């Protein structure tokens, strides 16, 4: 008998719940759609593009930071030394290029002219000596060995004079274009090395990519930081949206750009303005192959209702109620306009 009474009570409770749900559904205004969801934001895992020990972290959990604010820094002694080395090599190569482009100095040209004149004079004297000895050969006043030696010296002096002439031409012409091109290419390589060293030094500092709130400090000073090891978790404060679900039967009543109002339990008398920014093209929480009309009515679609949150009162995970008036036309111009 007791079991029968318990079963009857349960049936009455279920029937009462069903009646209550039906009445609630019937009392909901037809000109608006009420949804329930939770506040959602994006989170960023921040790290540095360097493998070095952390020197300083300048923020604590819960701190609100602005875009570009310095959050942390790793040790930079080695990076600064590398930058100084590449800058010195760049300056040396710049001087090399400047030297090649400037060409030969006047003093160098004057010295080459003097060397050419000396070599020419020496060759002239050697030829004269060889001729004189050659004339003395029939008179037995000079030997054949003396003549041959004099002729050899004359030929050598002539060759030295021709070499001095070519050197003078090269000095006057200046460096070859190919040599200048090679030096300039080496200069560009040095410039690239300096930029790389500067970027590596810049990567040693961690800056906030956007305004947000520090949610978690994963590493501390002294820990080894690597590109694949996050240091800080940053919760972005813009954009903030509500993740809600629309039944398939109401999907055709809303569109992106619709205005919406958001209500929270924390501030029940305050309504936050928002707009429908995204409607999922696929259904969720139901089988992919829907075969009956009953199952089709259970389809739900995820939507994002972006919210205006100037006072940062909407927090991650906060349950909210979203009210979307249905008597409106979609207007994409409302997106990202919080007034």
**Per-residue pLDDT tens listing for the chain (339 residues):** 544 554 454 444 444 444 433 444 444 567 889 999 999 999 999 999 989 999 999 999 989 999 999 999 999 999 999 999 999 999 999 998 988 887 767 777 677 777 777 778 777 787 777 777 666 666 666 677 766 776 777 778 778 877 777 776 766 766 778 888 899 999 999 999 999 999 999 999 999 999 999 999 999 999 999 999 999 999 998 889 999 988 888 888 899 989 999 999 888 889 999 999 999 998 776 544 444 455 545 678 889 999 998 888 888 889 999 999 988 877 654 555 666
Tokens for 333? 């111009």
Same domain, 64 and 132: no
Taking the C-alpha atoms of residue 155 and residue 319, their distance in angstroms, rounded to an integer, is 105
Let me know if residue 22 belongs to a domain: no
Residue 2 lies in a domain: no
DSSP state of 209: S
Q: Is residue 7 part of a domain?
A: no
Whether 320 and 251 share a structural domain: yes
| The model scores a pTM over 0.75 | no
- How many structural domains are present in the chain? 3
Same domain, 87 and 191: yes
- Do 195 and 140 share a structural domain? yes
Residue where a domain terminates, one of 190, 216, 235: 235
Whether 49 is in a domain gets the answer yes
| Residue 19 included in any domain | no
Rounded Cα distance, 262 and 322, in Å: 5
SS3 285: coil
Asked if 73 and 56 touch (Cβ cutoff 8 Å), the reply is: yes
User: Rg (Cα) of the chain, in Å, rounded?
Assistant: 44
**How far is Cα 326 from Cα 253, in angstroms, rounded to an integer?**
6
**How are beta strands 300-307 and 319-325 bridged, if at all?**
unpaired
Establish if 13 belongs to a structural domain.
no
Range of the domain at 214: 44-75+204-235
At 240 the three-state DSSP class reads strand
Does one domain contain both 70 and 209? yes
Q: Are residues 241 and 210 in the same domain?
A: no
């Amino acid at each position: 008998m007791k079991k029968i009474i318990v079963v009857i009570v349960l049936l009455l409770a279920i029937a009462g719940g069903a009646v209550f749900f039906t009445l609630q559904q019937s009392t909901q205004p037809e000109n608006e759609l009420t949804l329930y969801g939770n506040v959602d934001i994006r989170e960023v895992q921040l790290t540095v593009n360097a493998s070095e020990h952390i020197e300083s972290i300048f923020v604590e959990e819960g701190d609100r930071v602005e875009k570009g604010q310095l959050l942390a820094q790793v040790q930079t002694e080695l990076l600064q030394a590398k930058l100084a080395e590449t800058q010195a090599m760049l300056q040396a190569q710049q001087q090399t290029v400047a030297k090649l482009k400037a060409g030969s100095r006047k003093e160098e040209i004057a010295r080459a002219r003097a060397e050419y004149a000396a070599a020419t004079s020496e060759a002239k004297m050697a030829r004269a000596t060889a001729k004189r000895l050659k004339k003395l050969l029939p008179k037995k006043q000079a030997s054949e060995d003396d003549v041959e030696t004099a002729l050899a010296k004359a030929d050598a002096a002539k060759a030295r004079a021709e070499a001095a002439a070519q050197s003078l031409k090269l000095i006057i012409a200046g460096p070859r274009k190919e040599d200048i091109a090679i030096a300039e290419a080496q200069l560009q390589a040095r410039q690239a090395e300096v930029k790389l060293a500067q970027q590596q030094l810049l990567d040693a500092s961690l800056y906030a990519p956007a305004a947000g709130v520090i949610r978690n400090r994963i590493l501390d000073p002294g820990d080894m930081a690597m590109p694949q090891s996050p240091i800080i978790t940053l919760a972005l404060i813009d954009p903030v949206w509500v993740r809600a679900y629309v039944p398939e039967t109401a999907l055709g009543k809303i569109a992106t750009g619709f205005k919406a109002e958001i209500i929270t339990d924390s501030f029940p008398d305050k309504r936050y303005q928002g707009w429908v920014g995204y409607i999922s093209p696929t259904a969720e929480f139901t089988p992919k192959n829907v075969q009956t009309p009953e199952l089709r009515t259970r389809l739900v679609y995820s939507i994002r209702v972006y919210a205006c949150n100037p006072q940062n009162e909407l927090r991650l995970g906060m349950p909210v109620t979203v009210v979307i008036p249905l008597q409106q036309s979609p207007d994409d111009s409302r997106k990202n306009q919080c007034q």
